[in-house]
Chains A and B, each alone.
Chain A
Amino acid sequence: MLSIVIFLPLLVGAALAVMRGLPARAARLVWLATTLADLALLIVLTFTASTGAGGLRAEERVNWMPQLGSSYHLGVDGLSLPLLLLAGVIFVVCAIWSLRETDRPRPQAALFLFLQTTCLGLFAAQDLILFFLFFDLSIVGMYFVIAGWGHGNQRHSALVFFIYTFLGSLALLLGFIGLYLGATPHTFDMVELSRHGAFTGTPAAAGFVLAAIVIGLAVKTPTFPFHSWLPPAHTDAPTIGSVVLASLLLKMGTYGFVRIAMPMLPDAWRSWAWVIIAIGIVSVLYGALVALVQADIKRMIAFTSINHMGYVVLAVGAAGVLGRTTAEAQQLAIAGAATQMVSHGLITGALFLLAGVFYDRTGSYDLRQYGGLARPAPAFAGFFAIAAFASLGLPGFSGFIAEFQIFTGSIGTVPWTLIALPGILITAVLFLRAFQRVFTGETKQLSAGFADLHPRETTALAVLTVLSVLIGIVPGPLLAMIEPAAKVLVGSLTP
């Protein structure tokens, strides 16, 4: 079942890729239908999948390369299932958004279906080689998205993106080989590697392996100081490319922290937790401050992504700090990190769609060239306001639930993480300032004649914002899904 969910998009994508005569309209509809069907399958799986022996749901395992200690092993748990569902939703939204796409819609649909398979596969992989496979293929897919459908200096941005994240993926591969060699018997199986004491190397060896993995994941996340590929990639990517990049590809990095780095190297993680916390705090503050001075809306959102991912890194770092009575706080921090991944996916996805509307109508991302936009485009202004408020962590939206848990959990274990709190304030300032500048006052410059949202745009945005509000108001189901897995993770961190 899980394999079908993962590979259905790929199969349809391959069919679309070879059917050269297919009309554009049909290709777009096939794309939408596939993403909807895949999401439906995923929801069915969420409710029906049974739990296996290792605590994994919908587990599948087939011998693949026994000599390399690698198998085709899939399964989901409370940390991965929310991200799988997020991926399902995001790709539906992308398909809806592209219903009027005129620039080579058939290859575009095929490429995004391919990307969907890589995202779903990564979050469901339970084998490091399989994980790495999807990790690398996501880079390849995104490279073609940016280079093929981007604008501005897209070839250069795509190349920088590819090389930078590929470098990260190789660091990750080195780390994986280290994990493989550190376990007896040698294996790439993530479940076995996550068992307590699976890594038998010396603390120094564990430190190096962790460093390789953290660097690999930090590039992908990205955290300070490995973020420099992100702003150009976002700026020059097509709108839905940016959405997938921000909502899903960045999550691959943070997901790797909770899925690989923490449970597989718990001792090393605890020893180096303060470094992770420091990276998180710097990313939070740096991302917020740099976003504050951006005039290009896409660059601004890209830097707030660094800020938001910083919270996740901060939380997973803090969860590695043990105290006598901290188990609950650690658990809260991890649950907050997982919630933040979903929340950021929804909210930043919406923000990038809105940024895409700017470019679509006028060809400019420059905030200074707009003013008083609320008058000609009230619906657009409304959605922008909702997304901005959600992003700055207002209660009632998913972002609040996530950041509240992250800070409660982190401060509960490491009180001085308080110094990251101004990050929230700065993002609030920057979003309000941007909103004020663009939407209020008299209608001037590029704002004149700005067409309001089309129905397909409204639908796509509504899906994302409604989900964010739903999580904000009724977080129970999501948290219930995450909490058992967070508990297991905290358990594995305890010596």
Chain B
Amino acid sequence: MTSMSMNMDYLALLPEIVLLTAAVLVLLGGSFLPRTRQVITRWLTLAALAASATAGLAALARAPETIFDGSYTIDASTTVVRMAAPLATLVVILIGRHEFTGSARESETYALLLLATLGTVIIGGTTDLLVLVAGYLLASIPLYALIGLSRSGPAAEATLKTYLIGALFGVLLMAGVTLLTGLAATSNYLNMSKSLGNAPVAALAGGAVALLIGLTFKAGAVPGHFWIPDASQASGVAVAAFLTTVPKIGALVALGRLVEIMPDTVDVPLLIAMLAVISMTVGNLAALAQNNVRRLLGWSTVSQVGYLLMPLAVITASDGAWLALLAYIGLYALTNLTLFAVVACFPHREELDDWAGMARTHPWLTGTLIVGALSLVGTPPTAVFIGKVAVFTVAWDGGMPWLVVVAAANTVLSLLYYLRLIRPAFRTPGFSPQHGSRGTPGVALTVSGTAVTLGFLVLAAGAVGAGIWLVFLA
């Protein structure tokens, strides 16, 4: 581990450093700034996130490399995480305008979001098991606090649930890390695959399963998914948008890196394929029965992770698997944020029925809602359609056509509840004006504007953007 050939290029970590510095500055600044000036931390956070994403993009000019003795890799996947995670957080802060601005813990919220984003980036970029553990903790602990921010009874319950599940899966992850590190005599991915090939199969299987299952907590896949619906329902809308989008980005890339190095003495691809099937099926079936909008969206993300796991199952068998995975991640994040942005315009419309009559009062937002929902179904020409085609193609190409058939059947199933999301908008509102069905007074133009802009992006992504995105990844 102490070889002299270390590439100690601190500048290469600029995107991470920007996030960390901003988190510290926001936290310190927040404690000194007067209550009325807290908004400065908001601007600082937004600027830092944009800067981090830009710095991440700039790394594209350099050849792929590993730094710090191979513990961190800067390649196309890392670049995607470095851009997608901060940009997604940026959108979260934009749609959280009502939720965060002027709240009692404004600057702390931003600091937590920055740290959780940093954790996600590290999980995605690292190629060392020990750094992975650090990243896992860094990404998880701020989440617990974020969920509890709204300080309601259900939020406390969701926090506790998330914390317990996070701790359990964290322990599992660490057990896996310990086992694999012991078996391979190194924690570094690059040197690991060779030595793991000769390891005892039972121990290797145990370590691999523990490690991968541990990461499902962050990815929001079965079996680590239990916290998602609760947290998504009980926390604030913007926080829910964050926790159903950002942690996945890093975790899925990390899973990809790990599946790639597992020797074929253990059938890891089959394990991932089974997790994919179970995730999409469980997510879809559970979402069918939901009446709470955010809970429904929470379950929908569980099912979406199922599709996202499909390219992971064939990551060694199909050439385009990484491309498909990265494309789907970006397009999914965009779409999911769009739907949550619409929900953020009406934080008090909890149940599906509360959305009645929206088509008349808010046609643009209704349009955005339709585009977002159809995108998650995978209807062309919206964003996720391109992702779905890519994912289906590589899964078939990688020798798992049965997985594609299951996923297609699940897509039909998902149509049922995504349509339930749309339908109330066209109903004439009944007697329930309790939440002010004319829209919450003072829905800021920034929030609804963000939502509609994102909706357009989802639409454009399928037609034009996806082409650019694919070129960029290639």
Contact = CB atoms under 8 A, between A and B. Distances in A.
Interface of A: 20, 63-68, 129, 132-133, 136-137, 140, 147-148, 155, 159, 162-163, 166-167, 170-171, 173-174, 177-178, 180-181
B389 interface: yes
A174 B380 contact: no
A63 B468 CA distance: 11
B404 A177 contact: yes
B393 interface: yes
B374 interface: yes
Interface of B: 320, 323, 363, 374, 377, 379-381, 385-386, 389-390, 392-393, 396-397, 404-405, 408-409, 411-412, 415-416, 419, 423, 426, 466-467, 470-471, 474
Interface SS of chain A: helix
Contact of B323 (A67, A140, A180): A67
Contacts of A173: 389, 392, 408
A167 B412 CA distance: 6
B265 to A, nearest CB: 28
Given A65-B470, A129-B380, A137-B379, A181 B389 contact: no
A136 B415 CA distance: 13
A181 B467 contact: no
Given A133-B380, A133-B381, A181 B415 contact: no
Nearest to B466: A65
B7 to A, nearest CB: 31
A162 B381 CA distance: 17
B386 A177 contact: no
A170 B386 contact: no
A67 to B, nearest CB: 4
Max chain B C-beta neighbours (<10 A), residue from A63, A66, A174: A174
A181 B405 contact: no
Given A166-B377, A173-B408, A180-B393, 4 more contacts: A65-B466, A162-B419, A174-B404, A177-B396
A162 to B, nearest CB: 7
20 contacts: A65-B470, A66-B467, A67-B320, A67-B323, A67-B471, A68-B386, A68-B393, A140-B374, A148-B426, A155-B423, A163-B412, A170-B408, A170-B412, A173-B389, A173-B392, A174-B392, A177-B389, A177-B392, A180-B393, A181-B397
Contacts, number: 68
Contacts of B320: 67
A129 B374 CA distance: 17
Contacts of A163: 412, 415-416
B376 to A, nearest CB: 13
A174 B405 contact: yes
B393 A177 contact: yes
Contacts of B408: 170-171, 173-174
Nearest to B320: A67
A132 B380 contact: yes
A140 B471 CA distance: 29
A163 B377 CA distance: 11
B415 A147 contact: no
Contacts of A66: 467, 471
B426 A65 contact: no
B380 A181 contact: no
Given A147-B426, A170-B411, A67 B393 contact: no
A174 B403 CA distance: 11
A171 B412 CA distance: 10
A65 B386 contact: yes
A30 to B, nearest CB: 19
Most A CB within 10 A of own CB, among B385, B393, B470: B393
A137 to B, nearest CB: 7
A132 B388 CA distance: 13
B389 A68 contact: yes
Contacts of B426: 147-148
A166 B470 contact: no
Contacts of A155: 423
A208 to B, nearest CB: 8
Shortest Cβ-Cβ A-B pairs, 5 listed:
A133-B380, A170-B408, A67-B470, A167-B412, A65-B467
A132 B404 CA distance: 17
Given A174-B392, A174-B404, A68 B470 contact: yes
Central interface residue in A63, A64, A65, by most chain B CB within 10 Å:
A65
Contacts of B363: 20
A155 B404 CA distance: 30
A159 B389 CA distance: 24
Contacts of B323: 67
Contacts of B396: 177-178, 181
A240 B386 CA distance: 32
Contacts of A167: 412
B218 to A, nearest CB: 29
A66 B471 CA distance: 8
A228 to B, nearest CB: 15
A75 to B, nearest CB: 20
Nearest to B381: A133
A193 to B, nearest CB: 15
A177 B416 CA distance: 24
Contacts of B405: 174
A155 B427 CA distance: 11
A121 B415 CA distance: 24
A171 B386 CA distance: 17
Contacts of B423: 147, 155
Nearest to A178: B396
A166 B412 CA distance: 7
A129 B381 CA distance: 9
B348 to A, nearest CB: 26
Contact of A136 (B380, B390, B393, B416): B380
Contacts of A129: 380, 389
